Structure 1
Amino acid sequence: MFKEIIVAIDGSDHSHKAMDYAKGLAKQYGATLRLVHAFPHTSDLLGYDNYEQLVARRENAGQTILDQAREKLGEASFPIKEELLEEPAAEAILAVAKTRHADLIVMGTRGRSSLEGLLLGSVSQKVIHHADCPVMVVR
């Protein structure tokens, strides 16, 4: 049923719960589990002297989040892939899902930057409305 499962990872508890659920599905179906993390464009900071350092710090922070997620997954009987992108989160998730022909996107209800009390975060809402495949939102 599922061959390619995308899970959005931002380091939040919500994304880790989504990853745990996606792990179970990947194990059950022998699917590839693709961890996707995105960080915002830094092009608006081009004039700053430390621009390259800022980009490197954001990339390193993103890779750390992916590394921690992979470590949390432990040994797996299914393939695990990673994607680290510099673009808005919803656009990154949708682009990876389309490029990789995802069968399912799994994500948390809210990410790190969402305001407490919102039913769904803005990233979740955008992905739900624009994805070409089913989206599972985990609380």
Structure 2
Amino acid sequence: MKVLVAVDQSPESQMALRYTCHLMEKADARIDAVYVRPDETDIVPESVYGPFVGKEELAKWLEQQQENVEEQVLGSCEVCEAVKTPCTPRIVMGDPADEILHIAHSEDYDLVVLGASEHSAIKGFLLGTVHAKVLHHAQLPVLIVRNFRPIKRVVVAFRGSDCDQAAMEFIAPLFFHRKPEITILHIAENETRQHDGIAQACLMNGEKALREFDHAPVAKMASGNFVEELLKDVAAERYDLIVMGAYGIHRPKYAKMISDDALNIARLTTRPVLVYREKTPQSGR
């Protein structure tokens, strides 16, 4: 599995890299820690030191930023090396969201990982522009990490879609050696409820995929508002990771945009959230 972790100077991104090393500890994975250095022409001087920063000073500042990130990434990558998971720092230049998406798609990555501030979730702020853009447009799974929690309990939020089923098939081999306790929380929403037979078939296929890798998932039922019921259960059960499909029951046919539910969960919880979306043919080009 190829994993792209976006890094910068923030503690959140370095924590996300260490978390990814923990996540991939016993998986056959390769991790690339990608730092997107801003283009000098895209930076407003006031955002650095003051309105009179010259081009030369700006270049020096960017160089220092890059050196600081490289040093931090090398330190974080040591966690991966300790568990024999390759971790390679990479530096590219451009717009962070655009470059992350371009690299993830053109180089056939299997997962993108982004660190996010825990405090913004507590205060209910929106996700940063980079996070929102990547979540909206990445045609592959995206993991948002707000804090480091050893993965012992995982909840799969299930609405009865094929995307939810595929999410279970994605995590089944990933957690084969770790064997966390996996709960499938089936939330039925009256307004958008899928035919019970179809939902049950998806649930059975997802459970089967988990059992093929010797997991013993526990199924739970709930009804009501999807976001409210999921957050309520996460608060009560204190799961370490939330897994969910990017789409609702009605998968978009053309503009494959992430559902509002998935965005709200990523915004409102302090738990790591894996938003699953199947890689498209364009991702491998």
Q: Same fold (TM over 0.5)?
A: yes
Partner amino acid for 1:107?
Answer: L
CA distance in 2, matches of 1:56, 1:85: 17
C-alpha distance in structure 1 between counterparts of 2:141 and 2:8, whole Å = 20
1:70 is aligned to 74
> Can you list the C-alpha shifts for 1:60-110, whole angstroms capped at 9, x where unaligned?
422421321221332511221222122111111111212321100011124
TM-score, normalization by structure 2: 0.41
In the superposition, the TM-score normalised over structure 1's length comes to: 0.78
In 2, distance between residues paired with 1:96 and 1:56?
Answer: 26
Superposition map of 1:1-139 within 5 A: 3-43=1-41, 51=55, 54-55=58-59, 57-74=61-78, 76=81, 77-110=84-117, 118-139=125-146
Q: Residues 81 and 72 of structure 1: is their aligned pair in 2 closer, same or farther, counting only changes over 3 Å? A: closer
Q: Could you tell me whether the CA contact under 8 Å between 2:9 and 2:65 is conserved in 1?
A: no
Count of matched residue positions in the alignment of Structure 1 and Structure 2? 131
Cα gap change, 1:58 to 1:21, in 2 (>3 Å): same
* In 1: Cα distance, 2:76 partner to 2:124 partner: 27
- Structure 2: gaps (5+ residues): 44-53, 118-122, 147-285
Instruction: Give the direction of change, closer, same or farther, for the CA distance of 1:43–1:131 in structure 2 (3 Å limit).
Output: same
Contact 1:41 1:86 in 2 (8 A): yes
Alpha-carbon RMSD across the aligned residues, in angstroms, is 2.5
> Deviation string for 1:15-50 (max 9, x for gaps)?
1221122112332213111001112221368xxxx6
Any conservation in 2 of the 1:63–1:84 contact (CA below 8 Å)? no
Which residue does the alignment assign to 2:185?
Answer: none
Distance 1:85 1:98, change over 3 A: same
Q: Flag the 1:20–1:54 CA change in 2: closer, same or farther, 3 A.
A: same
Higher relative contact order (CA 8 A, sep 6+): 1
Identity %: 30
